Amino acid sequence: MFDNKMVVALGERDGISGPAIAACVEAAGGKVVLTATECFV
């Protein structure tokens, strides 16, 4: 699904974190170019 795709992983502090999203994308064959976890209040 993510083969040869570049992804920006933006997570939320109270939800799913950026590194968790990045791990899933990498497992699916994607390349993570930026990972961040922010607080959207």
Average pLDDT on 18-29 reads 95
Which position has the higher pLDDT, 11 or 4? 11
Is residue 9 within 8 A of residue 21, CB to CB? The reply is: yes
**DSSP one-letter code for 29:** T
Q: What is the mean predicted confidence (pLDDT) over 14-40?
A: 94
Q: CA 39 to CA 16: how far, in whole Å? A: 11
> Tokens standing for 33?
């170019």
- Token representation of residue 34: 């930026």
Longest CA pairwise span in the chain (Å) = 33
pTM (2 d.p.): 0.85
